[in-house]
Amino acid sequence: MLINITGQAFIDKDIYIDGYRFINCYFEKCRLKTLRGTFEFHSCSLIMCQPVFSHEALKSVQFYFIGPNQYPKALDAFKPNKSGNDVFSIGIGASF
């Protein structure tokens, strides 16, 4: 169950976003940190914010980019380790 935060402004803050549902909130120059990816944003503004992923949350992002149509779109930090067309590794220390 997520805790609702509505109509708040966050400027130049480090915010752990897991466990929260942000509704109509404003974020500027914030570092939005997630450990597990258990959050929601609804009608929010993000201005010059930086997402910060734990290793657990990063695995979900890498998993999203395993598809051939998605892999080329990912920044290097978000790409799973790939070897060939159908072989990939995801996780800490995962390699070919």
* C-alpha neighbours within 13 Å on the C-beta side of residue 29: 2
34: exposed, middle or buried (C-beta count within 10 Å: 0-12, 13-18, 19+)? buried
* Predicted model pTM: 0.75
Given this model, what pLDDT does residue 95 score?
45
Given this model, what pLDDT does residue 14 score?
98
pLDDT, tens digit, 9 for 90 and up, residues 46-81? 999 999 988 888 888 888 888 778 888 888 888 888
Q: Is the pLDDT of residue 89 over 60?
A: yes
- Residue 77 — φ and ψ, nearest 5°? -65, -20
Given this model, what pLDDT does residue 61 score?
85
Which residues 6+ apart lie within 8 Å of 86 measured at CB? none
Looking at 30-34, 69-73, 86-90, which range is the least confident one? 86-90
Cα dist from 57 to 11, 53, 83, whole Å: 24, 6, 22
